[in-house]
Each structure stands twice: as structure tokens, then as C-alpha cells.
Structure 1
């Protein structure tokens, strides 16, 4: 067999169009895949940040600080009103428990709730934006509407959305989609994070940096204040209920529900799981 016959009989040459197309497709797919990965790693901004960047990019030299540019003043340290204050705070907070059985009477005075929220408002926040709103609900019909929204979504959460392991982990806490405490507790405090600030005419005007972290810190201070006032509470984060509850309360679009907090006194005979907290050696590392 001469060279010409060998070449003409080669399977490689017979099928070269198909092989060429296959190799070309592989090359194109690889290029698209790696390009997509590079874009994802470099420009993986969430929608909120992208919108904010686009909004503020056009301002140019018009950018001004959100805070009034005042001279700094001398720092006045707080007074230690309680000897061994840290230890006394720990002794107070170690008795804090989440309860699911509230008494409707007696009802705490609203001024106590106001003082607790004032304390929460002292929390630090990114660029001092104070990105939180506390909605205090005490009207029975409104509490019933909140319960209906939450229970409707929680039924779907427990039966479909939540992983079976998640539902199993909640079993010792004896919790399910029925939320009687939402109508039993004299107060519901709905804590909203403000993702950005609004002007008086409803236009976006101010970025709220670290809004979820800031609001979460404030919520922790609120829990301490409620405990100091002798009130019980339950931290809940109703899955997929935020938009409906925001609309129910008529809150603006820049607010997103972070925590729903029933507050009041425990019902007689209220029980809680027999739980132990981690020791200091399990939560603190010194260097």
C-alpha cells in the first residue's frame, strides 16, 4: 500500500469534519465556563449592592457624607453604677430562656417596652446609619392576622421546605407550625432591618452598611433589656413571611423583617427544655 492509499484509507481523515466540530464545541464550552467563573469570582455582588453602586455611581462630585460633618467632642466614659457589673449582668442573663407560653395578664406597661427599645437603639451601626425599625403590635386583631400569615407559611415550611434533619433537630424543643404564642403574648415586636435610607418623598438617599449585623446587635441588646425588665421573650425568624408581614403593617420597601419577638410574662406552669449552655472553655480562646 503506497502513501496515497494509506492517507485516503485513514479513519481520521474520513471523519475529520465531525472531529473538528467536536473539538471546536469543547473549546467554546471551556472558554465560556472559565470566563463565567472569572466573572463570578470578580463581580459576584448581590442585587442590593449592584443597585446601590449603580445609584451612587452617577453622583460623582455631588457625594456628601450622610452624617453632618461636625467636629469631634471629648469622650465621656460611662459610669460604673454597679460594682462587679459584668458578673451581675451574667447572673441576670443566665436566667434568660426562650418560652412559648405567655400570659395575657398582667400586661406590661408600654413604657417598659419603650425603655427596652431605647436601650436597643444604643447599638453601634455601620456609619451610624441606625438601620432598624421596631414595630410593636398589641392590637388583638392584628396579632391574629400575623399568626394566620405565619402559621400558613410554617405549615409549608415544616412539611416541604425544611430538610427532614432540621425538623428532627427541632423535635426536642416541641415546636411545630402552630404558634399560639403569637396571639397569647401581649406584645409582638417585629424587628425590621432597613436595607437603605429613604428621603421624605420616598426616594433612596442613604446606604445602610452592614444593616443586618447592626440590627442583630441591637436585637441582642433588646433581649438583655427585656430580661432586666423581668420580661420573657422568644426569638423567631418566620421563614418566607417577611413580605406579607411588611405589607400587613404598611412598612416601606426598604425594610425587611429580621426577627419576630413575642414579649410578655410567662404563663403559670410554663415549662422549658432542660438545656445546658456551653462552658466558658468551650466558647472562649485566649492568646
Structure 2
């Protein structure tokens, strides 16, 4: 469907609530502690997840800031078993070329080795939902011209981060799966040429016996640089 959103926005008052300092810190620490528990999961339960949970996560993602408020993203929801099977088979075919076929460069293989990832993506069929985020390069106009989108990668990346945070807040798990190349997702999801696959998210509960690498995150002193 071709749509246009070229218009001027009215400006309205914005008065976000200001909290006392102790409440600000309490909220900030609580959010940090919640997100610090988040891990990428590759072992999922097949227990059903309410569709509304995924919808709420997409709603949260849709609040993300974007270049010129163009919101250059689409989220495709897959729950059908046959379609999930097609996605898994296509993803594994590409990953086998990466892992077993030598397409991954040596330095990338070395970086991945401690995580013990392989071309096996069985979880793509196990999870109740797959969500594929597509980035819109441009938007077709009714007259056949193209409305260019700006800061697409930055905008879609922020939206995906908010999607992940929303899932984790609800007790759900996911993984940022980016098989390369990902053109098969365009075909399976029947998306137009102005969109490109960005991230494939399996969405569900972590399996009861799920394990993750015992990783540590960089300390604040390494990621926050204060100018003199």
C-alpha cells in the first residue's frame, strides 16, 4: 500500500513529570537492574505467549525517535508453524555457508568461538513467535516518486532496542539473529523492494534448562568518558 505523510505537525505543550531526586534514582536503578539481567537466549520453551505481549513490544518500539519522524520500520509477526519452518531452513542454509562453508572471515570466527554458536537454529521453530524487523529505505509516493528516509539505520536500531527492552520487561526472551545475507526473509515475508531485513527476533520464554555464557559487561569506567 502506498501512503503519504507529508504535512506540518501542530505543536502541543509537553510537560513530562519531574521526580524528586531520590525517586529519579530509584527508578533509574530499578530499570538498570532489570536490564542488567537481560541475556540473549538460544534455548526456548514452546509454551504459548499471548499475541498481545508481542503487540505491546512493537507498540513500545514504535515510540522510538526517528529521523524527521519518518519511522522507517516494519515489524512482521510470524506464528504459523510452516512459515517458521521455512525461515529456519533458509536461515540454516545461509549459516552453514558461513560456519561450514568458510564464508565467515577468520577474525569473526575467532570472536564467535567463545559463544559456541553454530549453524543450528532449531529455536526458530520452537518459539511461539518470530518477529522480523524491516528497515524502509524510502516510502513510495502516490505519484510514483520516492520519499527518501533519513538516518534509517540509527532509527531502526533504536526501535529494535526498545522492542528488546519491552520484551524483557514482560519476562520474555529473544535473540538478535542476523543471518547474512537475509534476502530470504524478504521473500518469505513478502515484503516490497523498499524494505530490507534488519533483525530476526525469536520471541518466547527461555527454556527451563536454558544456559547462556557467563559473560561480564564492561564497567562504567570503560564506557562513560567525562570531559574535563
Task: Answer yes or no: same fold by TM over 0.5.
Answer: yes
Q: Note the alpha carbon deviations across 1:158-209, whole angstroms, 9 max, x for none.
A: 22211123223212211111111111111111010000012368x3431110
Q: 2:115 aligns with which of 173, 179, 191?
A: 173
Find runs of 4+ consecutive structure 1 residues off by over 3 angstroms. 78-83
Q: Secondary structure at the match of 1:135?
A: strand
Distance 1:101 1:204, change over 3 A: farther
Give the TM-score of the pair, scaled to structure 2.
0.91
Distance 1:83 1:276, change over 3 A: closer
Q: 1:272 aligns with which of 212, 216, 226?
A: 212
Q: Counterpart in 2 of 1:286?
A: 226
Check if 1:115 corresponds to 2:56: yes
Check if 1:128 corresponds to 2:69: yes
Q: 1:226 aligns with which of 167, 174, 194?
A: 167
Check if 1:76 corresponds to 2:18: no
Give the TM-score of the pair, scaled to structure 1.
0.73
RMSD (Å), alpha carbons: 1.9
Q: How does 1:115-264 map to 2 (within 5 A)?
A: 115-158=56-99, 159-199=101-141, 203-241=144-182, 243-264=183-204
Matches of 2:42 and 2:191, distance apart in 1: 27
Matches of 1:70 and 1:211, distance apart in 2: 21
- Gaps in structure 1 of 5+ consecutive residues: 1-64
Could you say which structure has the greater relative contact order, defined with CA pairs below 8 angstroms and 6 or more residues apart? 2
Q: Note the alpha carbon deviations across 1:15-74, whole angstroms, 9 max, x for none.
A: xxxxxxxxxxxxxxxxxxxxxxxxxxxxxxxxxxxxxxxxxxxxxxxxxx9541244222
- Gaps in structure 2 of 5+ consecutive residues: none
Matches of 1:277 and 1:188, distance apart in 2: 27
Q: Counterpart in 1 of 2:46?
A: 104
Matches of 1:96 and 1:213, distance apart in 2: 22
Q: Counterpart in 2 of 1:18?
A: none
Q: Note the alpha carbon deviations across 1:121-178, whole angstroms, 9 max, x for none.
A: 0000011100000011111100000011111111111222111232232122111111
Distance 1:200 1:102, change over 3 A: farther
Larger radius of gyration: 1
Matches of 2:110 and 2:13, distance apart in 1: 54
Number of equivalent positions:
220
